[in-house]
Chains A and B, each alone.
Chain A
Amino acid sequence: MTQRATGSFKGWLYGSGVMLLCVWVLLPIGLIGLGAFGGRPAVYQWPKTLMPASLSLDQLAVFF
């Protein structure tokens, strides 16, 4: 019984560690990915919002 209880606590600890590290890797990429659609104003937008205030595809035009 005790072993099972500590086991599940450990499992929970492991799970949250893994999740935390996934967030650590993915969050910066997600933010820059969203930011890329904000165009130039998004760089200096304050305070930042998760979705940029003015969405545009201008930055992608660079590739064409």
Chain B
Amino acid sequence: MAKAQDLIFLSTQLRPIDEAQKVRDVILKGAPKTSYVVDEPSPFTVRMKAEVEANKHTISLVGALHGELQPLLPMGALEPIDDVAASLKDRGIPAGLMDLGKLGTGKQMYIPWMQATYVMVVNKKALPFLPAGADVNALTYQQLAEWGKTMNEKTGQRRLGFPAGPKGLFARFLQGNLYPSYTASMVTEFRSAEAETMWNDFKAVWAQSNPNSTSYDFMQEPLMAGEVLVAWDHIARVKDALQQAPNDYLVVAPPAGPKGRSYMPVIAGLAIAKGAPDRKGAAELIMHLTKPETQLITASEVGFFPVVNATLPANLSPGVKLLAEGVAKTQTAKDAVVALLPVGLGDKGGEFNKVYVDTFQRIVLRNEPVRATLDAQADVMRSIMAATKAPCWAPDKASEGACPVK
């Protein structure tokens, strides 16, 4: 457990017990003496705020997603780290990513740590049921629905799966994959005619999804159990299934809609807390974590990919290799559209997610009329945007002031 003199590294990522253990035992090997502490996003924010308000600092380094670090800036919990950024110049972190770490200020607020995205995992047993003419690497949502239907007819069970349980990341699917693929937008076109088509298409997909989907948190479990043959999830949440039986699976890009094949990159960053008890140690730890060797170890241990210029070695474990290929396929698809994680929502991030999940519940689970539901939920969305004054982010076009909902 945490010893007083150790540097404290608080993270919202790599939380599950075995992942945290890998961080402690493998990834942090050779780094300054560190206690690795994890917390869920909302208590994380509360804790950071409390330390600032009490002016009593225990945490030196924080690791969190871009969207989780951003709210820490206005509360003055982050220390500018241009000096650390300068000493990292040779690591080859893409300038675009480094710029994200400035959080819209002139100074470096965090250093990119690792990245991931959301993919589809396909059990090879599902391949025979693919619709005629469909390419598993370039599916559309209609084809996915058709595929699910055939699997249901042939196996007697609904074999598509989504992590729509209490801890699942289903909201990210709706925001980052489904909406932009149909509307080229996440917020502005929320209640557009394209969105209406989208929901109707997705109803057909859901009709072929396993009814337990509303209980799934991590898709690796139903995949390993064979309950689900085709699943969408964050790469870190399917890794166990792939490593356990790499020969059974393919990892492919999520389906495409009329406006392209949208995907959502996930960036986690490392920041130093203002008033950190051990700023020097924290900087050293950043240096350690962004070393190409450490980044490769991170990739193979926990399934998050490097932000630095590090070629994945050929002897990568087959499961991680599958993931790497899946990520590459997703990012390089010729119809790829990038949808960023929401920015600027502060503590309204939860309610923003709720808009999508509620809309899904009403339209798909409770079969409420699509048009009326979209109109009602668009009002909620508008009030969130008005309250946070968050400007649009990709793929929505940049806006002056709060991102509008048409």
Chain A–chain B contact at Cβ < 8 A: yes
Q: Which residues of B contact A46 (CB under 8 A)?
A: 225
Is A24 part of the binding interface, using a Cβ–Cβ cutoff of 8 Å?
no
Contact B224 A44 (CB under 8 A): yes
Residues of B within 8 A of A (CB): 17, 221, 224-227
Docked pose: A43 CA to B225 CA in angstroms: 9
Closest chain B residue to A46, Cβ basis? B225
Contact A44 B17 (CB under 8 A): no
Min distance, Cβ B157 to any Cβ of chain A, angstroms? 13
Contact A62 B225 (CB under 8 A): no
Interface of A is mostly: helix
Min distance, Cβ A57 to any Cβ of chain B, angstroms? 15
Docked pose: A46 CA to B221 CA in angstroms: 14
Q: Count the A residues whose beta carbon is within 8 Å of the partner chain — how many?
A: 4
Docked pose: A46 CA to B157 CA in angstroms: 16
Q: A44-B225, A44-B227 are in contact. List 7 more A-B contacts (CB 8 A).
A: A43-B221, A43-B225, A44-B221, A44-B224, A44-B226, A46-B225, A62-B17
Min distance, Cβ A48 to any Cβ of chain B, angstroms? 13
Give 6 closest A-B pairs by Cβ, nearest first.
Answer: A44-B225, A62-B17, A44-B224, A44-B221, A43-B221, A44-B227
Docked pose: A46 CA to B226 CA in angstroms: 11
For residues 6 through 63 of chain A, which have their beta carbon under 8 Å from a beta carbon of chain B?
A: 43-44, 46, 62
Interface of B is mostly: helix
Closest chain A residue to B221, Cβ basis? A44
Min distance, Cβ A44 to any Cβ of chain B, angstroms? 4
Closest chain B residue to A44, Cβ basis? B225
Min distance, Cβ B348 to any Cβ of chain A, angstroms? 35
Min distance, Cβ B127 to any Cβ of chain A, angstroms? 22
Min distance, Cβ B243 to any Cβ of chain A, angstroms? 13
Q: Which residues of B contact A43 (CB under 8 A)?
A: 221, 225
A sample of 9 cross-chain residue pairs with beta-carbon separation below 8 angstroms, ordered by A number, consists of A43-B221, A43-B225, A44-B221, A44-B224, A44-B225, A44-B226, A44-B227, A46-B225, A62-B17
Min distance, Cβ B104 to any Cβ of chain A, angstroms? 41
Q: Which residues of A contact B17 (CB under 8 A)?
A: 62
Closest chain B residue to A41, Cβ basis? B224
Closest chain A residue to B240, Cβ basis? A40
Q: Which residues of B contact A44 (CB under 8 A)?
A: 221, 224-227
Docked pose: A43 CA to B221 CA in angstroms: 9
Q: Output the residue of A43, A44, A46, A62 with the most chain B CB within 10 A.
A: A44
Q: Which residues of A contact B224 (CB under 8 A)?
A: 44
Docked pose: A43 CA to B220 CA in angstroms: 13
Docked pose: A62 CA to B221 CA in angstroms: 19
Closest chain A residue to B226, Cβ basis? A44
Closest chain B residue to A58, Cβ basis? B18
Q: Which residues of B contact A62 (CB under 8 A)?
A: 17
